[in-house]
Amino acid sequence: MPDKWIPQEIEPKWQQKWDADGLYRARIDTGRVKHYAMTMYPYPSGDLHIGHWYAMAPSDVRARWMRMRGYNVVFPMGFDAFGLPAENAAIRHKIHPKQWTYANIERMRKQLRSMGAMFDWERECVTCDPEYYRWTQWFFLKLYDAGLAYKKLAPVDFCPTCNTTLAREQVWGEDRHCERCGTPVVKRDLAQWFFKITAYAEELRDFSKMDWPERVTTMQRNWIGRSEGAEVVFRTEAGNHPLPVFTTRPDTLWGATFMVLAPEHPLVEQLTTPECRAAVEAYVEQARRMADIMREAADREKTGVFTGAYAINPVNRERIPIWIADYVLMTYGTGAIMAVPCGDQRDFEFATRYHLPIPVVVAPPGWDGQPFTQAFADPGVMVNSGPFTGFPSIGKYSLEEWTPELAAEYGLPAGLTSQTEGRHAVTRWLEAQGTGKFAVAYRLHDWIISRQRYWGAPIPMITCPKCGIVPVPYPDLPVLLPEDVEFMPTGESPLKFHEGFRSVPCPRCGGAAERETDTMDTFMCSSWYQYAYMQRNWRAGEVVGPDAIPFNPEEGAYWLPVDQYTGGIEHATMHLLYTRFFTKAMRDMGLVSFDEPMLHLFNQGIILGEDSEKMSKSRGNVIAPDDLVQQYGADVVRGYLMFGFRWDQGGPWSSTGVLGIQRFLERAWNLVLETAEAARAQAPGGFARPGRAREIRRGALPESETGPADEAGVRELRRKQHQTIRKASQDMEAFSFNTMLAALMEFSNYLLKAREGAVARTPAWAEAIRALVLLMAPTFPHIAEELWARLGQPYSVHQQAWPAWDEQLAAEEMITIVVQVNGRVRDRFEAPAGIGEAEARARALASEGVQKYLAGQSPLKVIYVPGRLVNIVVR
Contact residues for Zn ion (CB under 5 A)?
Answer: 159, 161-162, 178, 180-181, 183, 464, 466-467, 506, 508-509
Give whichever of 469 and 589 is closer to Zn ion, judged by the CB atom: 469
Question: What contacts 219, CB < 8 A, 6 or more positions away?
Answer: 569, 572, 573
Question: What contacts 566, CB < 8 A, 6 or more positions away?
Answer: 37, 38, 39, 40, 55, 58, 59, 62, 601, 602, 603, 604
Q: How far is the CB of 92 from Zn ion (least distance, A)?
A: 18
Give whichever of 159 and 190 is closer to Zn ion, judged by the CB atom: 159
Q: How far is the CB of 174 from Zn ion (least distance, A)?
A: 17
Give whichever of 183 and 649 is closer to Zn ion, judged by the CB atom: 183
- 166 neighbors 157 (Cβ within 8 angstroms): yes
Q: How far is the CB of 187 from Zn ion (least distance, A)?
A: 14
Q: How far is the CB of 510 from Zn ion (least distance, A)?
A: 7
d(CA 73, CA 559): 9
Q: Could you tell me which residues are beta bridge partners of residue 153?
A: 191
Q: How far is the CB of 167 from Zn ion (least distance, A)?
A: 13
Question: How far lies 837's CA from each of 847, 849, 850, in Å?
Answer: 16, 19, 17
- 721 neighbors 729 (Cβ within 8 angstroms): no
d(CA 317, CA 253): 11
- 531 neighbors 560 (Cβ within 8 angstroms): yes
d(CA 635, CA 666): 11
Give whichever of 312 and 467 is closer to Zn ion, judged by the CB atom: 467
**Among 270, 288, 3, residue whose Cα is nearest residue 156:** 288
How would you class 34 by CB atoms within 10 Å of its CB: exposed for 0-12, middle for 13-18, buried for 19 or more? middle
Which amino acid, 385?
A: S
Q: How far is the CB of 183 from Zn ion (least distance, A)?
A: 5
State which H helix or E strand residue 695 sits in.
helix 692-695
Query: Residue 61, Cβ neighbours under 10 Å: how many?
Result: 27
Give whichever of 334 and 490 is closer to Zn ion, judged by the CB atom: 490
Give whichever of 288 and 424 is closer to Zn ion, judged by the CB atom: 288
CA 349 to chain centre: 38
- Reduce the DSSP state of residue 821 to 3 states and report it: strand
Give whichever of 184 and 341 is closer to Zn ion, judged by the CB atom: 184
Please provide residue 547's backbone torsions phi and psi, each rounded to the nearest 5 degrees. Answer: -95, -20
Q: How far is the CB of 490 from Zn ion (least distance, A)?
A: 10
Give whichever of 183 and 398 is closer to Zn ion, judged by the CB atom: 183
Give whichever of 161 and 331 is closer to Zn ion, judged by the CB atom: 161
* Cis ω for the linkage preceding 59 (within 30 of 0): no
d(CA 561, CA 528): 12
Give whichever of 166 and 797 is closer to Zn ion, judged by the CB atom: 166
State which H helix or E strand residue 741 sits in.
helix 737-754
Give whichever of 181 and 480 is closer to Zn ion, judged by the CB atom: 181
Sign of the alpha-carbon torsion through 164, 167, 172, 175: positive
d(CA 137, CA 130): 10
Q: How far is the CB of 553 from Zn ion (least distance, A)?
A: 35
d(CA 637, CA 639): 5
CA 725 to chain centre: 30
Transcribe 406-461 into DSSP letters: HHHHHT--S---TTTSHHHHHHHHHHHHTSEEEEEEES---EE-EES-SSSPBP-E
Give whichever of 459 and 549 is closer to Zn ion, judged by the CB atom: 459
Q: What is the dihedral of CA 214, 215, 221, 227, to 10 degrees?
A: 100
Question: How far lies 220's CA from each of 197, 217, 223, 526, in Å?
Answer: 13, 5, 5, 18
- 199 neighbors 148 (Cβ within 8 angstroms): yes
Give whichever of 295 and 508 is closer to Zn ion, judged by the CB atom: 508
Give whichever of 183 and 654 is closer to Zn ion, judged by the CB atom: 183
Q: How far is the CB of 170 from Zn ion (least distance, A)?
A: 9
Q: How far is the CB of 155 from Zn ion (least distance, A)?
A: 17
Instruction: Check residue 208 and report its DSSP letter.
Output: T
Q: Could you tell me which residues are beta bridge partners of residue 765?
A: none
Q: How far is the CB of 502 from Zn ion (least distance, A)?
A: 15
Give whichever of 170 and 427 is closer to Zn ion, judged by the CB atom: 170
Give whichever of 89 and 159 is closer to Zn ion, judged by the CB atom: 159
- 812 neighbors 719 (Cβ within 8 angstroms): yes
Which amino acid, 697?
A: R
Q: How far is the CB of 158 from Zn ion (least distance, A)?
A: 9
* Cis ω for the linkage preceding 708 (within 30 of 0): no
Q: How many residues does the chain have?
A: 875
**Among 131, 6, 173, residue whose Cα is nearest residue 666:** 6
State which H helix or E strand residue 664 sits in.
helix 655-682
Q: How far is the CB of 554 from Zn ion (least distance, A)?
A: 40
Q: How far is the CB of 163 from Zn ion (least distance, A)?
A: 8
Pair type for strands 447-448 and 186-195: antiparallel
Give whichever of 183 and 352 is closer to Zn ion, judged by the CB atom: 183
Give whichever of 226 and 508 is closer to Zn ion, judged by the CB atom: 508
Q: How far is the CB of 190 from Zn ion (least distance, A)?
A: 16
Q: How far is the CB of 470 from Zn ion (least distance, A)?
A: 6
Question: What contacts 170, CB < 8 A, 6 or more positions away?
Answer: 157, 178, 179, 180, 489, 491
Q: How far is the CB of 606 from Zn ion (least distance, A)?
A: 35
Please provide residue 375's backbone torsions phi and psi, each rounded to the nearest 5 degrees. Answer: -70, 150
